[in-house]
Structure 1
């Protein structure tokens, strides 16, 4: 409820200007958001309880369309104040300042920690192999887990974020 998509939706309702939220919605979802917006505006005049309900429905519609544009499932609205972790404030600061230094340092440290923890587990389990299938299986699971982790990280850092549609290109 305090993220950029809902914030844009709140601003759009306050200003009575749907264009303020449309940049957060892919082209295919624009008509649905426009229809929802036009239905919500008259309901907001019917009193605070109806306005709250209508606004909530609009926020859900906008976030659902936003998530669809990311090819991601809609899992509902999260309450304001939910701790989304340490990296989002750093990413937001990078957007504001144009500097990636802090977010880069944080992510580099997180990646190093994750890699080290996994490779340590591979080594620990390699030392514990005693010729039994169970111990060998545990080692193989850790080894493959490390390799798959590396593969997933590589896929993530080399992919187009959110499977972006570059509509203006």
Structure 2
């Protein structure tokens, strides 16, 4: 089931016409209702920075802990400034986390800006049930297959009428078959990096590890 969900998610991204190598595709961690800031809220509520440290590299712990302590201290002394300082901490945490992924920081996004399939993936992890996720992604995949098949079938019917028509069919054929290949092979589903691609292990070799084969 896990492999099924992973291959379906890869196909869903292709359906949306999005390159798997684009960092912004996986940027749901920079939203107010994303998992990073959810853990930040928990940490502030408990007065314990531990829940957020998993989102950053070891060498960034000191910076994040310092920002956390400041937000916590100001919140206790001045309720009016609490929201502002918490926001500053959220921004710092997201920025540091994004840097650990080799991705640019583009600010903290509003709640509700996460793609529905990604939101469903987060809910599945919390509930331990991936039924909703499979349903959502399956519908996206079905639509993607139908659209690409229809276009390739239509252009195939006129492929021999001219060289240009033949080339149009070849383009549609390639798009369609590559989509099917992504579905059946699961290619690109790991996004080519670990949770922290710029950890000390990777930096030791002088570069982060990214492998994207399309």
Q: 1:13 to 1:96 in 2, by over 3 A?
A: closer
Paired residues of 1:71 and 1:163 also in contact (CA < 8 A)? no
Provide the C-alpha distance between the structure 2 equivalents of 1:6 and 1:165, rounded to a whole number of angstroms: 17
Where structure 2 has 5 or more consecutive residues not aligned to the other structure, the ranges are 1-31, 200-214
Decide which of 70, 75, 79 is 1:44's aligned counterpart: 75
Higher relative contact order (CA 8 A, sep 6+): 2
Provide the C-alpha distance between the structure 2 equivalents of 1:81 and 1:165, rounded to a whole number of angstroms: 25
Shift of 1:152: 5.1
Q: Which residue does the alignment assign to 1:90?
A: 120
How large is the RMSD of aligned CA atoms in angstroms?
Answer: 3.0
**Structure ranking higher in helix proportion:** 1
Provide the aligned length of Structure 1 versus Structure 2. Answer: 164
Paired residues of 1:12 and 1:20 also in contact (CA < 8 A)? yes
Provide the C-alpha distance between the structure 2 equivalents of 1:156 and 1:115, rounded to a whole number of angstroms: 18
Shift of 1:99: 3.0
Q: Which residue does the alignment assign to 2:154?
A: 124
1:142 aligns with 2:142: no
Decide which of 54, 69, 75 is 2:106's aligned counterpart: 75
Where structure 1 has 5 or more consecutive residues not aligned to the other structure, the ranges are none
Q: Which residue does the alignment assign to 1:155?
A: 187
Paired residues of 2:156 and 2:169 also in contact (CA < 8 A)? yes
Q: 1:28 to 1:127 in 2, by over 3 A?
A: farther
Paired residues of 2:34 and 2:114 also in contact (CA < 8 A)? no
**Deviates further, 91-100 or 3-12:** 91-100
Q: 1:107 to 1:132 in 2, by over 3 A?
A: same
Provide the C-alpha distance between the structure 2 equivalents of 1:151 and 1:26, rounded to a whole number of angstroms: 35
1:109 aligns with 2:139: yes
Q: In the TM superposition, what whole-angstrom CA distance separates every residue of 1:57-100 from its partner, at most 9, and x where no partner exists?
A: 21011122233344443332111233631x24532343234233
Paired residues of 1:71 and 1:162 also in contact (CA < 8 A)? no
- Structure having the higher Rg: 1
